[in-house]
Structure 1
Amino acid sequence: MGHELDNHPLASDFPEFKDKIHALKTSNTHFARLHREYEEVDKAVIRLETGVEHGSDAEIETKKKLRVLLKDELYALLKA
């Protein structure tokens, strides 16, 4: 299952924040919404990269950039 390498679940990227991620998902609606959006974008990128869904290179790049922006925002909230 090579495609799992491209999956970027937040808790595996920031293991030191695993508990805080869980706490914020249940207590902070803004964080929860961002997290949900991040996971949806991440899954979409994986589907595109693995050919499950087809999209243009531009579409894939746009989703990857969005994923980075969302991750940066989530990270900022985790560090706050």
Structure 2
Amino acid sequence: MTLDKLPVGQTRRIAAVGGQGALRRRLLDMGLTPKTQVTVQKVAPMGDPIELRLRGYELTLRLDDAREIALEAPDGEAE
């Protein structure tokens, strides 16, 4: 599962961060690193962007960027 598919209120750990070059570096710089817990707080009325909670702060992310982030399955394995 990728981050853009995670329902509001659900929490999962990041398994891997995809993307290329500057996009990947930006995602990692924002704290979206493997093993970090992330919770979807809100979704904008039109569905994009989404608001996340991680590392004690809120982050708003576009769905296109969220598709680059793979999440662990509830049992701890990548989906």
Give the TM-score normalised by structure 1.
0.28
Give the TM-score normalised by structure 2.
0.28
Identify the structure with the greater strand proportion: 2
Identify the structure with the greater helix proportion: 1
Structure of higher RCO (CA pairs closer than 8 Å, 6+ residues apart): 2
